[in-house]
C-alpha cells in the first residue's frame, strides 16, 4: 500500500501510515491527497509561519509508472497569498524517487532546533544536521549533500537563501531549475529550519497489471511523440510560446502598459537561444518531451553564467514585463533566481511594478536606495534580485512584505500593483481578451493562476462542434465571447487538478492545445492497470470537482474571502492599447454575470461558497473526517 510519513521536526519523531484505498480513490495523490491532509491536519486560524502549519509533499498517484509521470505537489497554508490555500507543482525526478524510497506523501510538522535535512531512503527517514548547508545556494547545496552521502544519484528538494531568509515568494527547488513556485512554499520550509529533503530508493514499484501497464506506456509514448506539437516542444520547450504570445497581443509589456513588445522582434527569438546559448537538452523522469535546456554565456559581462531553463514564464517576466530585450540578462537573472530559490512570477512582477512607479515619479532614488529603475536597467534588476534573497535594501523590503509593500509608497502606488488573493498577478501575460481564461485564472484557488485557469483550447479558434466534443457542452469559438466560457473554465480547473493529483506533466496532456495528447480516458487506463480499480472518466471528473471544492472550503475557513477575491486585477477592465487586440477589455457587468454562471455550475452560492447539497454529493459534508 501507499504510505504517508508524518514527520515532527521538533521531536524528530516519524509515524508511518498506510493510506486507505478509500482515500486514494477519492483524492488520488499529489494535489488531491495533499489538500485532504492539509484540511485535516491544520488547526483553523494557524499562522502560516507557525511551526504548527504543516508542509506537505505528495507524489502523484501514478508517478513513476507512466510516460511523463514525474511530478509532485507541495502544499501548506499560503504565506504569500494572505493565509489562503498554498500549493505548488514541480517536475524532475524527485517524485518517482520518493515512491521508490517507499513513500507517497510526507506531512512535515513542527520546527527543527537547528538547520536540518531529511534523508529518506528505502523506507527509512533520518534527521541530519544541515548547518554546513545553511547559507549556500541551491547549486552548492546539491554538491555538498552528494558529497555528504557519497551518492551522486540522490534526488533533492531544497531551499536557497531566499527560503532561509523567509522571502514571502521563496520557492522549493529541485535540480538546477525545477521549482515548486508561487504561494511561498520555500518560505514555509525555511521557517521550519528545513534545508532539504533528500530521497533515494531501490524498492521498485508493484503495479496491479504490469503487462498491461507496459503496453499502455508504449501506446502513450507513441501518442505523445506523434502529435504536431511534439517536435516543437522537444526542441524549444515553452520558449516557443513567446513569439506567438507577443504577436497575438497577449503579452504584459512594462507592467501591462502595452500588450505587444516591438523590441523583442529579432532579439528574443527561441532560435537565438538555440543557436547561441543552449548546450544540452534534458528531460524529467520518463518524459519523452525533453523540453528543458542547459545553457552557458561565453562572452560579455555575464561570461561564465550557466544554468538550466529558462521557461517562457521567465523569458516574458524578465523580458517585456520589465522592458528588456536582451537574452543575456534573462539568462543571468534565471541563474540568480534558481540559485537563490525565488519565484519568477512574483519577483518579475514586483520589479515591473517598481519600474512603473519610477516612470510615473511616485518613487525616486531616495526610495530605491540609489537604484535607477528605468525600464530594462540590467544592473538594477539583478541588484533587486540579490536584495530580495538576502533581505537587504528595497528588494529585501519587497521580499518580506510582498503585496503589503504598497503601503511604503502611498496610495497612488496601489493603482499599478496587480494582485489577487494577495498573490502577484502573473505578469508575463494579460488575458483580458480571452474570456474563459480570464475567469479561470481569477477564480483559481491559490489566486492568479495560469496553470489552473488557462483554457488553452480557446486560443485556437476551433469549430464549435470540436469544442463541444471535448467539453461536453456548446462553447463559442470566438475568444471574446462568453458563450459556454464559464463551463470551459470550470472544466479546465477540474482537469488540471486531476493532472496534478496523478503526477502527469500538463504538456503531455490536451491542456496546452494538442487534442491528441493524453486525456481522461488515458488516465483511467493507467490508474486501473496500476491499482486494479475500474475508474471511469466520469468518476475522475467528479474527483477533480471534489478536490476543487475542498480547496474552496479551506479558503472559506481560513480567510472568509470568496466572491470579492474572484475578480481579475483592475487592468483587465481597461482596454488593450495595441493591435491586434486593441480595445479589448472585460466589462464588469458581463464578468459578474459570467461569475454567477460559474458559481451555478460549481453548485455554489452567489457569494461563492459551496452549498450543503454540493458538499453532500461530493462526500465533503463530513470534513474534516480525520481518516488519516
* pLDDT-wise least confident of 304-308, 382-386, 568-572: 568-572
- Residues 183, 81 contacting (CB under 8 angstroms): yes
Q: What is the pLDDT of residue 428?
A: 79
Q: What is the pLDDT of residue 184?
A: 97
Distance in angstroms (rounded) separating the CA atoms of residues 410 and 400: 18
DSSP 308: E
CA torsion 255-257-261-262 (nearest 10°) is: -150
Residue 425: closest CA among 411, 436, 440, 441 = 441
- Residue 425 predicted with pLDDT over 90: no
Residue 439: closest CA among 412, 475, 387, 398 = 475
Mean pLDDT over residues 364-376, rounded? 98
Q: How confident is the model at residue 490 (pLDDT cuts 50, 70, 90)?
A: very high
Distance in angstroms (rounded) separating the CA atoms of residues 279 and 298: 11
Mean pLDDT over each residue of the chain, to the nearest integer: 96
Q: Which pLDDT tens digit goes with each residue over 584-625?
A: 999 999 999 999 999 999 999 999 999 999 999 999 999 999
- Residue 42 predicted with pLDDT over 70: yes
Q: Do the strands 155-158 and 292-296 form a parallel or antiparallel pair, or are they unpaired?
A: unpaired
Q: What is the pLDDT of residue 426?
A: 73
Q: Which pLDDT tens digit goes with each residue over 83-117?
A: 899 999 999 999 999 999 999 999 999 999 999 99
Q: How confident is the model at residue 427 (pLDDT cuts 50, 70, 90)?
A: low
Residue 352: closest CA among 424, 267, 280, 445 = 424
Greater confidence (513 vs 533) lies with: 533
Mean pLDDT over residues 303-321, rounded? 97
Is this prediction's pTM over 0.95? yes
Mean pLDDT over residues 182-204, rounded? 97
Q: What is the pLDDT of residue 82?
A: 80
- Residue 158 predicted with pLDDT over 80: yes
105 conformational bin, left if phi > 0, alpha if psi -120 to 50, beta if neither? beta
- Residue 507 predicted with pLDDT over 90: yes
Q: Which domains does the chain have, with CATH numbers?
A: 3-200 (3.60.9.10), 227-424 (1.10.569.10), 443-617 (1.10.599.10)
Distance in angstroms (rounded) separating the CA atoms of residues 88 and 403: 19
- DSSP track, 464-516: HHHHHHHHSS---SSTT--TTHHHHHHHHHHHHHHHHHHT--GGGBSTTS-TT
Q: What is the pLDDT of residue 430?
A: 86
Query: Does the bond joining 310 to the residue before it have cis omega, within 30 degrees of 0?
Result: yes
- Residue 411 predicted with pLDDT over 90: no
Number of CB atoms found within 10 A of residue 327's CB: 20
**307: Cα within 13 Å, side-chain hemisphere:** 25
Amino acid at each position: 500500500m501507499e504510505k504517508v510519513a508524518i514527520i515532527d521536526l521538533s521531536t524528530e519523531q516519524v509515524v508511518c501510515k498506510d493510506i486507505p484505498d478509500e482515500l486514494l480513490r477519492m483524492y488520488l495523490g499529489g494535489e488531491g491527497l495533499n489538500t485532504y491532509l492539509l484540511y485535516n491536519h491544520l488547526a483553523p486560524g494557524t499562522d502560516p509561519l507557525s511551526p504548527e502549519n504543516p508542509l506537505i509533499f505528495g507524489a502523484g498517484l501514478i508517478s513513476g509508472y507512466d510516460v511523463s509521470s514525474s511530478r509532485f505537489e507541495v502544499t501548506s497554508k499560503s504565506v504569500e497569498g494572505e493565509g489562503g490555500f498554498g500549493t505548488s507543482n514541480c517536475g524532475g525526478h524527485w517524485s518517482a524517487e520518493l515512491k521508490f524510497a517507499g513513500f507517497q506523501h510526507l506531512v512535515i510538522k513542527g520546527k527543527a532546533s537547528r538547520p536540518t535535512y531529511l534523508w529518506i531512503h528505502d523506507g527509512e527517514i533520518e534527521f541530519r544536521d544541515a548547518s554546513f548547508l545553511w547559507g549556500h545556494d541551491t547549486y552548492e547545496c546539491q554538491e555538498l549533500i552528494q558529497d555528504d552521502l557519497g551518492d551522486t544519484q540522490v534526488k533533492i528538494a531544497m531551499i536557497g537563501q531566499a527560503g532561509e531568509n523567509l522571502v514571502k515568494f521563496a520557492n522549493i527547488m529541485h535540480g538546477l531549475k525545477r521549482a515548486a513556485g508561487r504561494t511561498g512554499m520555500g518560505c514555509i520550509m525555511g521557517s521550519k529550519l528545513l534545508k532539504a529533503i533528500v530521497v533515494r530508493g531501490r524498492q521498485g514499484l508493484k503495479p496491479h497489471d504490469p503487462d498491461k501497464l507496459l503496453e499502455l506506456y508504449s501506446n502513450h509514448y507513441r501518442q505523445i511523440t506523434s502529435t504536431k506539437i511534439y517536435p516543437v516542444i522537444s526542441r524549444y520547450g515553452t520558449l516557443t510560446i513567446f513569439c506567438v504570445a507577443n504577436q497575438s497581443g497577449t503579452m504584459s509589456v512594462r507592467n501591462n502598459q502595452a500588450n505587444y513588445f516591438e523590441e523583442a522582434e529579432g532579439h528574443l527569438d527561441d532560435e537565438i537561444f538555440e543557436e547561441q546559448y543552449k548546450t544540452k537538452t534534458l528531460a524529467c523522469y520518463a518524459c519523452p518531451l525533453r523540453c528543458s535546456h542547459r545553457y552557458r554565456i561565453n562572452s560579455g559581462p555575464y561570461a561564465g553564467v550557466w544554468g538550466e531553463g529558462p521557461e517562457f514564464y521567465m523569458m516574458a517576466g524578465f523580458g517585456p514585463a520589465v522592458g528588456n530585450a536582451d537574452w543575456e540578462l534573462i539568462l543571468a537573472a534565471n541563474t540568480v533566481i534558481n540559485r537563490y530559490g525565488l519565484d519568477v512570477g512574483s519577483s518579475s512582477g514586483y520589479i515591473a511594478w517598481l519600474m512603473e512607479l519610477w516612470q510615473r515619479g511616485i518613487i525616486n532614488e531616495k526610495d530605491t536606495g540609489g537604484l535607477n529603475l528605468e525600464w530594462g536597467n540590467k544592473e538594477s534588476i539583478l541588484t533587486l534580485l540579490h536584495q530580495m534573497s538576502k533581505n537587504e535594501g528595497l528588494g529585501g523590503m519587497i521580499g518580506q512584505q510582498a503585496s503589503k509593500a504598497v503601503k511604503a509608497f502611498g496610495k497612488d502606488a496601489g493603482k499599478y500593483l496587480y494582485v489577487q488573493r494577495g498573490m502577484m498577478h502573473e505578469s508575463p501575460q494579460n488575458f483580458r481578451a480571452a474570456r474563459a481564461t480570464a475567469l479561470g485564472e481569477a477564480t483559481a484557488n491559490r489566486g492568479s493562476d495560469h496553470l489552473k485557469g488557462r483554457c488553452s483550447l480557446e486560443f485556437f479558434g476551433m469549430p464549435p462542434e470540436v469544442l463541444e466534443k471535448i467539453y461536453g457542452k456548446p462553447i463559442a469559438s470566438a475568444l471574446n465571447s462568453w458563450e459556454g466560457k464559464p463551463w470551459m473554465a470550470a472544466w479546465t480547473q477540474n482537469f488540471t487538478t486531476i493532472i496534478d493529483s496523478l503526477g502527469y506533466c500538463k504538456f503531455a496532456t490536451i491542456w496546452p492545445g494538442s487534442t491528441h495528447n493524453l486525456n481522461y480516458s488515458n488516465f483511467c487506463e493507467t490508474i486501473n492497470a496500476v491499482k486494479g480499480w475500474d475508474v471511469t472518466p466520469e468518476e475522475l471528473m467528479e474527483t477533480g470537482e471534489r478536490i476543487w471544492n475542498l480547496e474552496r472550503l479551506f479558503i472559506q475557513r481560513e480567510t472568509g474571502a470568496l466572491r470579492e477575491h474572484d475578480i481579475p486585477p483592475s487592468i483587465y477592465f481597461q482596454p488593450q492599447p495595441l493591435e491586434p487586440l486593441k480595445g479589448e477589455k472585460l466589462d464588469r457587468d458581463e464578468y459578474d454575470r459570467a461569475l454567477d454562471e460559474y458559481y451555478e455550475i460549481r453548485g455554489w452560492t452567489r457569494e461563492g461558497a459551496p452549498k450543503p447539497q454540493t458538499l453532500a454529493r461530493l462526500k465533503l459534508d463530513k470534513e474534516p473526517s480525520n481518516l488519516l
